[in-house]
Amino acid sequence: MPSTSANTVVVLDFETTGLSPNMGDRAIEIGAVKLVDGEVVDTFQELMNPGFRVSSFIEGYTGITNNMLRTASGCEGVMSRFAEFIAGFNLVAHNASFDKRFLDAELARFHAGYSGQFTCSMLIARRLIQDSPTHKLGDLVHFKGIANDGVFHRALADAEMTARLWLLMLDELDQQGIANPTFAMMQTISRTSKQALPAFFNKQRSKASL
């Protein structure tokens, strides 16, 4: 059983066959990085075979082809290994409501789950990086000059960029004297409401609206 640390998070990203598991869409790739006290200590990346052909749009969008998926492991085996990877850790994703739906759906297929809390880097970026014209992951990476290798829409590459964005926002909070910035950001849960937002983020929004 891994040790749980308040400053440990797993940043994850799914590539999928579409937008909605409720409409029959499945995961085709999972990528993740594990951060401990701001350092990458482990990574996870696996393709998974959804059991049917993906559309040409998804092949073009992700670069993941049906030929690549033909020899990939099934979703259950991959997700079983991923469940072990995230066990006991809090989770971060960009537009987390999307990744959470697929994580929940894929794990539910074999009655698995996770105990960590999910939070959303996009919701935090909307508060902390209000001068960015958009809050798409790629646009934020370019806007903030975050290092990248030019690969987008692959799971590990997007998880790595989300992790760098997460660390950048932690630094910004730290420089502003926010105590325990990881805890502050983890309070901005994907299912949060205005009332549930930490006072700090409400202050940021109030200042921006002046």
Q: Which residues bind DNA (CB under 7 A)?
A: 13-16, 18-20, 22-23, 25, 55-58, 60-62, 94-95, 97-98, 101, 122-123, 126, 134-138, 153, 158, 188-194, 197, 205
Angstrom CA distances, 142 to 72, 121, 139, 153, stand at 32, 16, 5, 15
Count of CB atoms situated within 10 Å of the CB of 135? 19
DSSP state of 189: B
How far is 190 from 98, CA to CA, in rounded Å? 10
Nearest approach in angstroms of CB 5 to DNA is 25
Nearest approach in angstroms of CB 4 to DNA is 24
Please identify, using beta-carbon distances, which residue of 55 and 180 lies nearer to DNA. Answer: 55
Please identify, using beta-carbon distances, which residue of 25 and 160 lies nearer to DNA. Answer: 25
Please identify, using beta-carbon distances, which residue of 15 and 170 lies nearer to DNA. Answer: 15
Nearest to 122 by CA among 87, 156, 94, 151: 94
Please identify, using beta-carbon distances, which residue of 88 and 126 lies nearer to DNA. Answer: 126
Nearest approach in angstroms of CB 123 to DNA is 5
How is residue 162 written in tokens? 């989300």
Strand partners of residue 29 = 15, 47
